[in-house]
């Protein structure tokens, strides 16, 4: 019996891991059918779509999402406490990334919302304690009504599927940047990389990047570098722009100096006055 349970547990954990590995793939590189109901949500379909202002119940009381994002942008993620798969690792990686990138409280708040109707304010508080985020004012762990869950998940393309065999929900791991009620970025993946989070924060902060360079191999000199974590910065190639000006001055100065030096030396004096 113990070995059977053990075997079942390992299958559960294993499938959870496999699922999370699958979800750990970068958001863009997915092969999942975007049209299928259980594919990985594609960011562009939901970009700038409005997010319903659902009510979130927390240990501190009830708050509407629009009141939250009215004050500052919100990073929203959907989890459930009975999760033996990706949820806890995901929230921990989000916690670590937020710590690395900074700006919490000033630029944004995080809402960790449960989509499981069986979750309560207490179970979510327990989850918060579990990941070391209890009593943090800018980390909001809460639950919402089942009808709100449905409105929310439909609006942002999130899907939830109950697996009776595993007695677990199958679901993607997402992080949504919400600014004034609209989806600004949509990250999918089992872990939150600080670099990706930084991009989301910048967007939320309203830093309008009129462009962003695409990665290209073999480029020798670039004007700009897009360094995740630092944003767009000038690269060495940029020096090639003012360099000719300074070099021209230098060459001219040298030319004048050497011609006048030769003039001072009678042996090399050219003809003429």
State the Cα–Cα distance between residues 208 and 210, nearest whole angstrom.
Answer: 6
C-beta of 87 vs 188, nearer to another protein: 188
Q: Of the ranges 79-87, 119-127, 129-137, 175-183, which one interacts with another protein (CB under 8 A)? A: 175-183
C-beta of 170 vs 181, nearer to another protein: 181
- Residue from 147, 164, 216, 266 that binds another protein (CB under 8 A)? 216
Binding status of residue 13 toward another protein by CB under 8 A = no
**Among 60, 74, 63, which Cα is nearest to 104's?**
74
Length of the chain, in residues: 273
**Among 218, 240, 116, which Cα is nearest to 171's?**
116
CA angle 72, 93, 81 (to 5 degrees): 85
- Cβ atoms of 138 and 105 within 8 Å: the answer is yes
Binding status of residue 213 toward another protein by CB under 8 A = yes
For residues 16 to 55, the per-residue mask of contacts with another protein, x marking binding by CB under 8 A and - elsewhere, is ------------x-------------x-x--xx-------
State the Cα–Cα distance between residues 148 and 230, nearest whole angstrom.
Answer: 37
Distance in Å, CB of 269 to another protein, minimum: 10
Binding status of residue 208 toward another protein by CB under 8 A = yes
Instruction: Decide: helix, strand or coil at residue 186.
Output: strand
Structure tokens given for 18: 């496999």
Distance in Å, CB of 170 to another protein, minimum: 25
Binding status of residue 103 toward another protein by CB under 8 A = no
Distance in Å, CB of 195 to another protein, minimum: 17
Distance in Å, CB of 243 to another protein, minimum: 8
State the Cα–Cα distance between residues 259 and 245, nearest whole angstrom.
Answer: 21
Burial 103-120 (b: 16+ CB within 10 A, else e): ebeebbbbbbbbbbeebe
Structure tokens given for 104: 């919490």
Distance in Å, CB of 7 to another protein, minimum: 42
How many CB atoms are located within 10 Å of the residue 218 CB? 4
Binding status of residue 137 toward another protein by CB under 8 A = no
C-beta of 11 vs 243, nearer to another protein: 243
**Among 88, 195, 91, which Cα is nearest to 139's?**
91
On the CB side of 197, CA atoms within 13 Å amount to 28
Q: Of the ranges 9-17, 140-148, 153-161, 232-240, which one interacts with another protein (CB under 8 A)? A: 232-240
- Residue from 31, 211, 264, 265 that binds another protein (CB under 8 A)? 211
- Residue from 18, 64, 259, 268 that binds another protein (CB under 8 A)? 259
Q: Of the ranges 6-14, 75-83, 186-194, 212-220, which one interacts with another protein (CB under 8 A)? A: 212-220
Which residues lie near another protein (CB under 8 A)? 28, 42, 44, 47-48, 179-180, 182, 184, 206-214, 216-224, 232, 234, 237-238, 240-241, 243-245, 247-249, 251-253, 255-257, 259-260, 263, 270-273
């Amino acid at each position: 019996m113990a070995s059977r349970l053990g075997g079942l547990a390992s299958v559960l954990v294993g499938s959870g891991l496999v699922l999370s590995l699958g979800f750990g793939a970068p958001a863009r590189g997915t092969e999942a059918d975007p049209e299928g109901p259980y594919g990985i949500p594609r960011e562009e379909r939901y970009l700038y779509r409005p997010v319903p202002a659902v009510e979130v119940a927390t240990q501190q009381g009830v708050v509407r999402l629009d009141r939250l994002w009215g004050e500052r942008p919100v990073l929203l993620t959907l989890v459930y406490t009975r999760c033996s798969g990706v949820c806890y690792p995901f929230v921990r990686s989000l916690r670590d990334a937020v710590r690395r990138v900074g700006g919490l409280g000033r630029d944004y708040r995080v809402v960790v919302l449960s989509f499981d109707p069986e979750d309560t304010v207490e179970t979510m508080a327990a989850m918060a304690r579990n990941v070391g985020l209890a009593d943090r004012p800018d980390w909001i762990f809460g639950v919402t009504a089942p009808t709100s869950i449905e409105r929310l998940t439909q609006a942002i393309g999130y899907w939830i599927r109950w697996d009776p065999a595993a007695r677990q929900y199958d679901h993607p791991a997402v992080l949504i940047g919400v600014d004034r009620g609209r989806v600004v970025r949509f990250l999918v993946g089992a872990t939150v990389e600080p670099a990706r989070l930084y991009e989301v924060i910048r967007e939320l902060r309203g830093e309008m990047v009129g462009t962003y360079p695409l990665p290209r191999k073999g480029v020798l000199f670039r004007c700009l570098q897009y360094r995740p974590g630092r944003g767009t910065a000038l690269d060495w190639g940029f020096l090639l722009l003012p360099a000719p000006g300074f070099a021209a001055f230098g060459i001219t100065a040298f030319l004048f100096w050497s011609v006048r030096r030769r003039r001072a030396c009678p042996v090399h004096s050219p003809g003429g006055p």
